[in-house]
Amino acid sequence: MAPTTPQEPGLSAVPSYEEEQSQARFDALIGKDSRIEPRDWMPDAYRKTLTRQVSQHAHSEIIGMQPEANWITRAPSLKRKSILMAKVQDEAGHGLYLYSAAETLGTDRDELNDQLLTGRAKYSSIFNYPARSWADMGAIGWLVDGAAIANQVPLCRASYGPYGRAMVRVCKEESFHQRQGFEILLSLSRGSEAQKKMAQDAVNRFYEPALMMFGPPDEQSPNSKQSMAWNIKRFSNDELRQRFVGMIAEQVKVLGLTLPDPELRYDEETKQWIHKDLNWDEFMAVIKGNGPVNAQRMERRREAHREGAWVREAAAAYAAKQVQSEVA
């Protein structure tokens, strides 16, 4: 639906009678786990949180096209090439579904695009790690897309309708991504010694960054509580990370590979997966722009935008001409 204008913030700090009524209606909808739709009244903080989260998610899909797009020309067979292209197209699609959802909160597409291109907006830190070998295509599919799915499945029930609907579409398409990654690793693992080593090396490099995709530990994630109270988030960062570690700890056995984590074990008493301490200093550094390829990813995005300018201009000129000839 068309973007709505955000509620004007009231001049006085005391909420008016109408605002109180609106807040009560909003609280009631959240209370019975119903959905908020674009034209409903919503608190400014809810709108702001969602705009940030959904647009960052969209940016991540768009930047996330790069590590894999770089491997399309080097994929080892025509089949693998076609699969990789389909996956990159899906990521573009996911970005577009999410931008549409973000726009319904009142920020237009050009502005969202601008936030990414000027570096004002963030995207998932995982895409600031380079994809060095073909095996990385496998590790990214299995671990990175796997972590993304674990994160995204509960978001299908997010309280904001357009976000939930976009996530349903994304999740349906994403499961092929994880399976194809797993298959790449399995082929390599069953290949020559050198191929198996390449697969293990990729898993070694992506294991920790993938676990960090769920965000900081709960006690260091102050915004999570509010997001859960609003039914945007359904599980905490640590809960989702636990779930994911449990899944890959089993899956890695089928691959005949190991996870680079000597401390990894299931603790029967606490019913928790114990994994090694993650390097959160590195996580913060990458988020702040000091990851291995932050600059390269941003430059590539700006370059693609510049190089596409003539296409956008031509399309706009053609559209304008058609309108003129209709009038004439």
Partner 1 sequence: MSQQNNWPLWEVFVRSSRGLSHVHAGSLHAPDAQMAVRNARDLYTRRNEGVSLWVVKSEDIISSDPDEKDAFFESPQGKDYRHATYYKASEGVKHL
Residues near partner 1 (CB under 8 A) are: 1-3, 37, 39-41, 86, 89-90, 93, 96-97, 100, 103, 109-110, 113-114, 117-118, 165-166, 169, 173, 302, 305, 309, 312, 315-316, 318-319, 322
Between 284 and 315, CB nearer to partner 1: 315
The residue among 295 and 316 lying less far from partner 1, judged by its C-beta, is 316
* Shortest spacing between CB 161 and partner 1, in angstroms: 12
Q: Which is nearer to partner 1, 9 or 310 (CB)?
A: 310
Task: Output the smallest distance, CB 313 to partner 1, in A.
Answer: 8
Tell me how far, at minimum, the Cβ of 97 lies from partner 1, in Å. Answer: 6
Q: How far is the CB of 22 from partner 1 (least distance, A)?
A: 9
Minimum Å gap between C-beta 117 and partner 1 is 5
**Looking at beta carbons only, is 74 or 305 nearer to partner 1?**
305
CB count within 10 Å of CB 271 equals 8
Which residues does 307 contact at the CB level (< 8 Å), separation at least 6?
Answer: none
Cα–Cα distance measured from residue 19 to residue 16, given in angstroms and rounded to the nearest whole number = 5
Exposure class string for 203-242: b at 16+ Cβ within 10 A, else e: bebbbbbbbbbbbbeeeebeebeebeebbbbbbbbbebbb
Q: Which is nearer to partner 1, 144 or 166 (CB)?
A: 166
Following CA atoms 12, 17, 23, 29 in sequence, which dihedral angle do they give, to the nearest 10 degrees?
A: -170
Closest contact distance (angstroms) between CB of 190 and partner 1 is: 29
**Residue-by-residue DSSP string for 58-83:** HHHHHHTHHHHHHHHTT-SSHHHHHH
Nearer to partner 1, 191 or 308 (CB): 308
